[in-house]
Amino acid sequence: MRGIGSLTIASMAVLLSPPASAQQPIPISIASVPSIPSASTYLALDKGYFRDAGLDVTIERIDSLSKAVAMVATGRIQAAQGGISAGFYNAVTQGLPIIMALEGGSTPLYHWVLVRNELKDAIKTPADLKGRRVALSAPGSNAMYEMGMVLASAGLRLKDVDVKYIAFSQMAVALANGAVDAALMVAPFSDVAIERKLGHPWLDPEPLIPVLPMTNLAYIANVDWIWEHRDVAQRLFLALARASRDYCQAYHRGPNRAEVIDTMVNHKIVIDRALTDRMQWQARNPNGTFSVASLISMQSFFRQEGQVEKGVPPEKLADASFAEAAARELGPFELVNPASTLKGCR
């Protein structure tokens, strides 16, 4: 009788418990660097993917992922999205409880190295950059890695050029007034500079990057939080993977492209709707799968340049389980616009 009574009470408890959808949403804080690829984070919010997962997500804007590392490590926020940099590798090396949980961007990047208009006939190959003033966005950035690979193709290193660290938004002006000779730029800044003839589009760095696809953006998370709240973390990153697939459909100019641009405009990621529509967006993996070889290549480069003290094994850098779970849950990714010939986001 005792066992039957216990079973009856337990069964009643289950019947009387509210469904998961009716339970109080779990508060989550995510930091995000406003950029074209960050649209997926806001899509997950606007399309109710977080809500459907039982999460109450707040998105904070940050200037760079490196500024969010400490916030994630101390648990002030649970996750952050942005560009992978030497700062992340150093934080892992120092034992901070952070890890990449989902890829947020990879090649094709549609980055450009622009040169001063006056030098378009003088700079023909990467070897011609030797001794030149080259603009990069920040020390330890993945743009630094890209330029390093461009120079390496000619047997050069960053020490062989005069690096100037300039914000992307100021690079076109620096080219136009002769402050720099070349600049590695990202969309939409490169598109604006080219359209306004403030610089000459000289080189796509991607073919010179030895390890492709190159992962350059990621969602990082607090390791302790992941282990203590595994189910919540799983729901969070599945919601983000769903939104990443929406982004990829729009990347391939599917019927939802206008909707995704609306999200970018409404959340002030972009201002110029027409430019955003006609430009190429950065790609990503639809499941959030990392290019581990790319992460290791980037780490080796940063060590060579003295940006990172020592290396760590790949399992300390990225947790592949969330992308694997997304692939199982969401099934194979299929393009709504099969006529697209664009690479990436497949």
List pLDDT tens digits, range 75-104: 999 999 999 999 999 999 999 999 999 999
Closest CA to 305 of 160, 128, 183: 160
SS3 content of the chain, % helix, strand, coil (to 5): 45, 15, 35
Mean pLDDT across the stretch 233-261? 98
Two structure tokens written together for 104: 């947020």
In whole angstroms, how large is the CA radius of gyration of the chain? Answer: 22
Preceding amide of 314 cis, omega within 30 = no
Give pTM, 2 decimals: 0.91
pLDDT confidence tier of residue 190, bands split at 50, 70 and 90:
very high
Neighbours of 320 (CB within 10 A): 17
Kind and range of the H or E run holding 90: helix 86-93
Three-class SS state of 346: coil
Backbone angles phi, psi at 185, to 5 degrees: -120, 155
Mean pLDDT across the stretch 166-186? 97
State the Cα–Cα distance between residues 241 and 117, nearest whole angstrom: 41
The pLDDT mean for the chain works out to: 93
pLDDT confidence tier of residue 22, bands split at 50, 70 and 90:
low
One-letter amino acid for residue 164 of the chain = K
Domains of the chain, each with CATH number or no CATH = 25-107+213-330 (3.40.190.10), 112-208 (3.40.190.10)
Q: How far is CA 1 from the centre of its chain?
A: 59
Distances in whole angstroms, Cα of residue 302 to Cα of each of 115, 162, 190, 232, 288: 25, 18, 25, 33, 24
State the Cα–Cα distance between residues 37 and 264, nearest whole angstrom: 10
pLDDT at 158 over 90: yes
Torsion sign (Cα): 125, 144, 298, 342: negative
Over residues 208-242, the pLDDT tens digits come to 999 999 999 999 999 999 999 999 999 999 999 99
